[in-house]
Amino acid sequence: MTDTPDTGTDPLGATPLQALQAAIGWTAEERVDVVERRHLRDYRRAIGADEDGTDVPATITACFLTEPPTMPEALAYGMGWINGGDRFEVHRPLRLGDEVTSQLTFTGVEEKSGRSGTLALLTFVTEFRLPDGTLAVRHVGTRVRR
């Protein structure tokens, strides 16, 4: 058996970046969650706020994100995920008891070189919708793979 060096391409000739670019538009399984008092209590405790508050911040949807996403195409960049930033767009405030349906979509990739080697910056969008289809929160997240 002969060892073949890793050339940075897959058997079809695509580079890791090309494989990720081809995966743009991929979606994770849809999930349904309910904004419950325990989520709010745990979230408020984690950020050092009064646990008895009832205001539901849009960032509570971070509890419902599909993290880290399962993306075999990203394995060529290594096994680690680093949070590269998050943005939450509020379209309708959430309330305790709201049921939200969400689905993560892979929307973009950029490759950069750093001190530790080549990095892939992947962008994902997750929309949180109410049962009637109303968009409540849109999360845009960047994850770094290295």
3-state percent breakdown (helix, strand, coil) of the chain, nearest 5: 20, 40, 40
pLDDT of res. 12: 63
pLDDT of res. 10: 53
The CATH code of domain 16-145 reads 3.10.129.10
pLDDT-derived band of residue 72, with 50, 70 and 90 as boundaries? confident
> 77-120: per-residue pLDDT in tens?
988 889 999 999 999 999 999 999 999 999 999 999 988 889 99
> 38-70: per-residue pLDDT in tens?
989 988 888 888 877 788 998 999 999 988 778
Q: Which long-range contacts (CB under 8 A, 24 or more apart) does 74-77 make?
A: 74/20, 74/120, 74/122, 74/145, 76/8, 76/16, 76/19, 77/16, 77/118, 77/119, 77/120, 77/145, 77/146
Range in 13-17, 47-51, 108-112, 140-144 the model is least confident about: 47-51
Question: pTM of the full predicted structure?
Answer: 0.84
pLDDT of res. 67: 80
In 3D, which of 35, 32, 33, 52 has the Cα closest to residue 96? 35
